[in-house]
Structure 1
Amino acid sequence: MAESLMTSDPFFSIAKQNLRSDGRKFDDFRPVLLNCDSVGTANGSAMIRFGNSAVICGITTEVIEPNIETPDEGSVEINVRLPAYCSPKYCMTDSTNDLLVLTQTLKDVVKQSKLIDLKKLCILEAKFAWSLNIELICLNNAGNLLDLCVTAIVAALHSCLLKKTIVSEDNKISYEKNTEPVEVTTYPISTTFSIINGYHSLHPYDWFRET
């Protein structure tokens, strides 16, 4: 009975033809649109679309006092917003759990991939360091949200500029008009796929998603 119900499901009928309802093959990505420097007031930014899913990422920078445990390193902070309008799901349920999981996963990706060498963000050990504050806003969540966010972060970092600094003999900091790019050391890639009854599908719909 279970097998009969499964094979009669429209999804599996389409799967046998290696096609989806939108005409894409199972190994086809969604159409991608990337626009860097899309937020003029940010130090770095990017807006990206995978099909109908869309995320905008903005980066602001500030000089902070380094953490006492890592006096020769700067920091990268990540904040994600999932407004109710980005998905019908969040109009009916709280997005807090999804938000916490996504934010922590992005922090792990940035840290474990060594996307940014935090030591390169240090200006003067134990005194001054750059903090990169990354904010992501989901405009529409039709699946592949993790992939979108990772790609948006990498793209925004590539457009991020830091003011050149001067530290005086009495440890006072000043800023030059000239800027320099943030040094990106790796290029993490996130790809979402699903495996359903033996069928592999890239960029599945949200309710079939398995990352």
Structure 2
Amino acid sequence: MTEELRISDPVAYHSQLVSKGKRADGRTLDEFRNIKLETDAIRTADASSLVKLGNTSIVCGCTTQILPIKNGGEDQDPIKIKIELPPICSNPYGNKTQLSAQLLNKALKDILDDTNCIDKQNLFINDTDSYWSIMVEVICLNHDGSILDAAVIAVIAALKSLKLVEDKSNPSSECRHIKFNCIPVVSTYAMINDRVLCDPNSEEENIAQTTFSVTVDSKTNSNLSINKVGGQPISNNLLTKSIKWSKLRAEKVNSIIEAIKIDLNENKMDTS
């Protein structure tokens, strides 16, 4: 395998590797990249996180404010999400960056809403006509595949470490945390030569026959959803394997997320 082939014909390069059960970065086909998580990464935010999934890097910041409830609060969503893919992230989408950011934004919001992972009723303040409004901003610092996986971890970690303080000027003011109904963990897969690759990097995503993702609740280890848009069909056997891998990965991610709750001062975690 030469670097010349990798550049001139990436499909042939990766296909030959995959046929031998190998990958360009040295991983096996069913191997996920290491996750590194740091909370309190942005001092000016009310809560924040930095996630590194291999060479993919995501930073997330949360800001809060108390707003009045309107129309009984029926049409008010306490959590707003914005995701950015700036040119600095070296993303593979070229001039389609804005469109891709919009699609990722929707995918991220859908995961939070469809899984009902956050107890939003807990964000309405008792005995008042007000609620906590949380702005979640996600920025991709470097795009090397499986960006949704990393973004979900970053958002959950930031929200998990968020302290809701009604009066920030009063040190003794009541403080609470967000309540979670579940902890969704997304695992992305790519198919190359009818073989499934766990956690594809950007090169593998670009030449894949299809990509899909499996979302698992890491608290109960139950399957929440499977998302696939177009591309080559997936056999039941490969799908079953992917769900199994996703559940094993979710257990590992859950241990990282739960560590935030144990001690918010111990804000650097690493998996190997």
Match of 2:104 among 102, 105, 119: 102
Does the CA-based 8 Å contact 1:163-1:180 persist in structure 2?
yes
Letter in 2 for 1:119: Q
Partners of 1:126 and 1:106 lie apart in 2 by 30
Task: Say if 1:74 and 1:122, in contact at 8 Å, map to a contact too.
Answer: no
* Aligned with 2:22 (options 14, 19, 23): 19
Letter of the aligned partner of 2:45 in structure 1? A
Whether the 8 Å contact between 1:115 and 1:185 is mirrored in structure 2 is: yes
CA shift digits 1:60-117 (9 cap, x unpaired): 1111123426359761000111111111546x41411101100011111111111211
**Largest Rg, 1 or 2:** 1
Matching residue's letter, 2:52: R
Does residue 199 of structure 1 match 2:195? yes
Q: CA RMSD in A?
A: 2.5
User: Where does residue 217 of structure 2 map in the other structure?
Assistant: none
Q: Which of 90, 104, 124 is the equivalent residue of 1:87?
A: 90
Q: How many residues align structurally?
A: 196
C-alpha distance in 1 between matches for 2:171 and 2:116? 27
Q: Deviations 1:148-182 (Å, cap 9, x if unpaired)? A: 111101111110000146xxxxxxxx995342222
SS in 1 for 2:71: coil
1:183 deviates by: 1.6
What TM-score, normalized to structure 2?
Answer: 0.66
Unaligned runs of 5+ in 1: 1-5, 166-173
Q: Which residue of 2 aligns with 1:168?
A: none
Does the residue aligned with 2:144 lie in a helix, a strand or coil? coil
Pair 1:89–1:72, CA change in 2 (3 A): closer
**C-alpha separation in 2, matches of 1:11 and 1:196:** 8
Match among 148, 154, 173 for residue 177 of structure 1: 173
Offset at 1:20? 0.5
Relative to structure 1, is the Cα distance of residues 197 and 126 closer, same or farther in structure 2, using a 3 angstrom cutoff?
farther
Which residue is equivalent to 2:45? 42
Which residue of 119, 122, 129 maps to 2:121?
119
CA distance in 1, matches of 2:75, 2:178: 17
Report the identity percentage: 28
| 2:69 maps to amino acid | P
Q: Offset of 1:125 from its aligned partner? A: 7.0
Structure 2: segments with no counterpart, 5+ residues: 1-8, 206-210, 213-272
Contact residue 48 and residue 56 of structure 1 kept, 8 A: yes
Is it true that 1:77 corresponds to 2:80 in the alignment?
A: yes
Give yes or no for contact 1:68–1:126 (8 Å, CA) kept in 2: no
TM alignment of 1:126-137, pairs within 5 A: 127-137=129-139
User: What is the deviation of 1:197?
Assistant: 2.3
Q: Larger RCO: Structure 1 or Structure 2 (Cα < 8 Å, ≥ 6 residues apart)? A: 1
Quick one: distance in 2 between partners of 1:128 and 1:69?
10
Give the AA of the match of 1:198: D
The letter for the 2-side match of 1:205 is N
Distance 1:74 1:130 in 2: 10
Using a 3 Å threshold, how does the CA distance of structure 1 residues 15 and 200 change in structure 2: closer, same or farther? Answer: same
What letter is aligned with 1:27? D
What SS is found at the alignment partner of 1:9? helix
Give the residue type in structure 2 aligned to 1:182.
I
1:111-134 deviation line (CA, Å, top 9, x unaligned): 111121111100147820001110
